[in-house]
Structures are given as C-alpha cells and as structure tokens.
Structure 1
Amino acid sequence: MKRTGKDLTPNNHMPPRNPDIWLCILLISRHFGNISKNHIQLIYKDIFIFLVRLISSGVSAITFISYSIYEALSGEPINTVIILLIGVLFVWAILLGPLSLIADKEISGFIASLVTILSIVNVLNTGDVTDSDKTNQNIDLFQQALQVKYCPTTIQPDESKRAKFQALKDILVKQCGFQNHQNIYRLAIDAAKARYLDPVSGLADNIHSEFIKDEPVTCLSIAKRMNEICPGKLQL
C-alpha cells in the first residue's frame, strides 16, 4: 500500500523541535503539502532563535577567552582559570538556556563552587595581609615616620616643599599606624565578595576593580611622595 504525505509527517499538530532535522522535515513536509503556513513560520522562528543563540555564545566565548589570555599574560593564573570557568557557565546559559543550568545542577553547581573556592584562594594569595614583606615595610615606615623630624635645607631649599614634607610626615604616622588594620578590613570585604557574589557579578566587580582603579592612599604611597620632596630622607 502506497504511503501518503500525511503518513510521513511525524506530528500534524506540532513540528519537531530538534534543530538538526528541521530542514529535512521542512523539505519533506512541503513536498507532500501536509504542513501549514503557521508551522513553517514557527520552524523559521526556531531556526532564527537558534542562530542568534549560536552567534551570541560564539561572541561570548571569544570575549572570555581573550580576557583570560590577558590575565594569563599579566601573571594571574588563578584569575585565568576563574574567567574560563565563568565563561563556560555563561556560554552554556546562552546556548542551551538558563534552565539547563538547573537541569544539570550537579555540573553547573560544581563549576560555581570551584569558582568560589578559587576566588577566595586568589583573594588570600594577592592580599597585602598575607604578604609579610609589605607588612614589615609598613611597620618600618611607621618607625621611620616617628623618628624623622624635618627635611633640611641642604636637601630641599624650597620652603613651601619643606612645609609640605612636614604635613605629609604627620599623615604618614597615622597611615602607617593603621595600614595593616586597613589591609585586614579590605581582605574581609574581598573575601565576602568572593563568597557571596555569584560568578558573573564577581567577574563584573573584578573587571571594575582592574580597569577602573581608584588608587587608595597607602603608607608606601605617602612615603614615596615624601621622598620625592626630600630625597633619601626615608629608606624605602
């Protein structure tokens, strides 16, 4: 018995949603004349959405890879891995939809947890609190600030600059005395961000901190400024 076009159509009410066989089904159905205009429009719409997702995920992948290369060249291996892992989640959500992250929560949850752990490790690794050399330097500059009295005219003949040196000296004593405490406070904030921000928000905060830098006033920065005014007065 000869099969009709109606027999060849898998579903007369809803066309298949698999993008890999859309084109074949479209050609077969149009050949046998058993698919409605609305079904054809729906298939075209699905193909368009799929292509948009594919292009968007490709652009996102290139962006994340480029940023990770930048971090690698900057000597930040942990940041490099973090960016690549976040890129995997981001591209995954675009290509397959956000709900797919929930459907495969074992994998997505593992990646998100790994990002959190690496972020905390990175904070501890790059923080000034864990850098014993910087901590000792702050203590040493504090002691020097207590001992230095003024900038002699033999080093700096300009009276206005000597007055500025004297004003900076008072600031240096306060800043170096509290610098290590400030570093601990900053570490606590960064650790909280690494723990509680989701991967994408954490990445956005990292990009903001890296490219839109608000240089903080530190014990070392004040000491450098004082040495520019009165060279050799402080041992850096």
Structure 2
Amino acid sequence: MIRLLIEAYGDMGHFYSEIEDYENAIRLYTEALQISRINTGLYSPEQIPILDSLIEANSRNTDWQEVDDFQELHYLINSRIYELTEIEYIAAAETYGAWKLRVIRENLLDQSRFSLLNTAENLSDFYARTIERLELIPDVRQEDLITVIYGKSQTDLTLAQVVASTPYTAFEGTESQSIVRYVALMCALFQARCRGSVIQFRWRTHVIDFPSVMLSGSHCSATPGIFRAQLKDWRGLKTPVPSSLQAKGRKSITK
C-alpha cells in the first residue's frame, strides 16, 4: 500500500515536471520522500530515485540551494547502504563530486571568495579520504580508484584557479597567510610536468593527464619538465613563499 502511494506521488510529480510546473512537481516529490523516510527508514534505497527526481526538478527550477541539500542527502544515503567498492557508491561519490565542482566553478550558491576556497578544499579532502580508504582494499578495481583520483585532480585544478583569480588585496590581516596555505596545498599534492599540450599531474603513485588549457593562465616553460602557473595580480605579495615551493627544479610561482 505504501509503495503504491509513493509511486502515485512520483507519477504525479513526473507529470507536472513534463508540463514544466516544477513547483508542484517538487511538492509531490517531497511528499513521496517524506512517506518513504517514515515507512522505509532514514537510509533506504527506495529514497534514491525520489531524490534523483527532486534534484532534477529543483535544477530546472534553478533552486540551487535545494539542489545542494538534496545532493548531500543523496550521497549520505548511498554511503550508508553501499560498501566503498560497490559500483553504486563509486557512482554516488562521482555525482556528488561533480556537483560540488560545478558549485565552485559557477558559484551557484553565491558564495564569497573565501567560502569558495573552503568548499574547494573540503571537496579535495573528501576525495583524499576516499582515495586513502580505497587504497587499503587489496582487490580494489583500478578504474574505480582512477575515477576518484581524476575527480580530485579536477578539484585541485579548480582550487588553484580560484586562488589565482583572487587579487592579493582581497586577503587582509591574518587571512593573508591563507594565500600561501592554498598555494602550498596545490604544490604539495601535485607534481606537474609538461608533455607538449598536456599537463601531467602526479598524486602519490598515480598519474593523470590534462590538456594544459584546463588551467587558465598556465603554460609550459622552455625547460622540459617544468610547469609554472602564472598567478596574476600578486605583485604586491609580501607574505614569504615557503622554501619548499622554491626547491631545486621548481620555479617560484610569484613574480
């Protein structure tokens, strides 16, 4: 009986979505979700298709905060009901990461520059934790590991772009120290080397290749194997750059 009621709400929600009445669609999907959570538990697989519908309807309605909330719940439920190596979990982690990356790149939640930096760092940490857990599993599928590493690579590229596009004058007081912290994070996690039009990122023992155009303002120097991110508007940088960033074989990132 409950299953039929949930299906009825879902079917009506789908109908309203088809005629682009997203507010009524969202209302009906929300009712279906509440009924499901009450009757099947807080972390049940029955909720996942309903959440997919809510995410889609709110996306079409451009209610990005609601989309973000439902994406968080979608990942949480998947993480509770599936094992780390199950394809459903990997797919959920990939979907969650792709959404958060879009939030950062398009600033869908109208965040401040510092909030964007924190969101990017949190996403990078999420990927790092997932990678570390996967690496502890003896029979982990390499394609699953590479999927997560690729997501982390994209996130850290975006993190570097956010930092590079922020004028140094925006970092005031003690917050000015964070400019070095974020740059150090990028440089510590990756060793980047040029291969023609490809930037090769190394994270631990793993290698990911990206087209060099993915990092705005980047270029390969004339010296083989050296990558340098041109960080504009940092001529007034007074915070010392850590010596680790100026080690032999790595050029300074400041002008």
- Give yes or no for TM over 0.5: no
Please state which band the TM-score falls in when normalised by the shorter chain.
Answer: under 0.3
Q: Decide which structure has the larger Cα Rg and report it.
A: 1
TM-score (norm 1): 0.26
Which structure shows the higher strand fraction?
A: 2
Structure with higher RCO (Cα < 8 A, 6+ apart):
1
Which structure shows the higher helix fraction?
A: 1
